[in-house]
Amino acid sequence: MRSRVALLAATLLLAGCATSGPTGSDLLSLRPKPGTARLVVYRTSPVGLLVQPDYVVDGRKAGSSQPGGFVVCDLAPGRHTVAAANIPIAMPLSNDPDSVTVSLRAGATTYLRAEPRMGIVMGSIGLLEVSEGQGRSDTASLYRIESDCKGS
């Protein structure tokens, strides 16, 4: 009985992690297409494994915040709003924002790190913009998550 419970627990833990597909070092070394900008939203921390809200870019679902994974969006340069679709009752204990506005430059890549946050009722995800060097380093061994990103 214990072995079944342990197997079920291990399966649940691994089910929420991005563990296959191309890695950041494979995909993100290439520059965006001419006239576009790249947005990468990623999550390294497995803390709060069961908290996996969707990433929403300009009001449209872009992918989910799976630990060990990243979402790539090639978008038009300019201002874009990126949010984590957290459950409203999460009531986080930190001040990291659920939503950020980024200014994307043509030919450049902007990185947002998704950070799990403790909450009064349940956990949530906050978003922080990081430098390109930090983002490249953090995503090198992460796996790409299927994305519904549409350029605007």
Domain residue spans of the chain: 2-144
Tell me the CA end-to-end span of the chain in Å, nearest whole number. Answer: 52
* pLDDT single digits (tens) 6-15: 333 433 344 4
- pTM for the whole structure: 0.80
For residue 149, pLDDT beyond 70: yes
Q: Where are the alpha helices (DSSP H) in the chain?
A: 2-15, 24-27, 132-139
* pLDDT single digits (tens) 33-57: 889 999 999 999 888 788 889 999 9
Spell 65-89 as b/e; 16+ CB within 10 A means b. Answer: bbbbbbbbbbbeeeebebbbbbeee
